[in-house]
Amino acid sequence: MAEESLRPAAFTPVDIEGLERPVVAATEIPYGRGGDVEPQLDLYRPAGEVSRRPAVVFIHGGGWCGGEKEHYRDLAAQVASRGYTCASVDYRLSPQAPFPAAAEDCKCAVRWLRAHARECGVDADRVGVLGGSAGAHLAAMVALTPGQFEGEGGSPDFPSAVRASVCYCGPFDLTVTSPPVLADAAEQFVKPSGPADRHAACWRASPMQYVTSSAPPFLLVHGDRDDIVPVEQAERFAAALQAVGVPVEFVRVRYGNHGFEPVGAPATQPDAAAVTFCVMSFLDSHLGRVG
């Protein structure tokens, strides 16, 4: 079914203003199986001839219990217009599918891209991942745990390792108990067996535990007025990465809340275009822009 979805006729033009070049998309492509669920992705690429391009997997947020792949439609199309193949993915949600289900699905999507590199126009050696909020947590888990939490979703002969990770407003230590909205979402995500198991279950699902010197470069973007995932999460994670020599860029969005909307800010801040420019520059630097 996936191969059928990748035929040229399945790709339609993406109507978004301001793209550097025309982009086409194929939607609702199954990329594997998680339990009884068949997760799907939307694929974006430059119009015209298919060639070996760097790729980015986009992972939506929503507290691990909501959200949808269409959230990153515009940004995925923008990145695709710069010469990338982009896949925006759905994944199993909590509490029906607790950790590590979502991480397994996201890794399966990376493997699927490599398994279909020729049809997708992907250079299998240049794959990155980007996520926001809960999606940032999953993007970090994908980047930090190659060979772990792989699941049985499909394309087992291909690796899930990535060369770069972009994380917007991500929670990286799920053992925290403040603010309550984050603590409650994390508990639903990990589903501990009881109060005594909460800390261990949350720590097992925390990217902070898996930081090693072999991790790929990270770009962390976080608003300093975020009241859902405090900016201290990004600060501590950046420090842990730097301590073991992992290249990390940390963009603190002044006056930005969890969605980078201004809180008590001058009218010109925060600058969403500047954040996007930082993301594009990071991806170009670590994955290599084509064209």
What positions carry a catalytic annotation? 133, 226, 258
- Do the beta carbons of residue 146 and residue 159 sit within 8 Å? yes
In sequence order, what DSSP letters do the residues of 111-166 get, joined into one string?
A: HHHHHTHHHHTEEEEEEEEEEETHHHHHHHHHHH-TTSS-TTSS-TTS----SEEE
Instruction: Answer whether 103's CB lies under 8 Å from 149's CB.
Output: yes
φ, ψ of residue 144 to 5 degrees: the values are -95, -15
CA torsion through residues 139, 142, 145, 151, sign: positive
The DSSP letter of residue 266 is -
3-state secondary structure of 274: helix
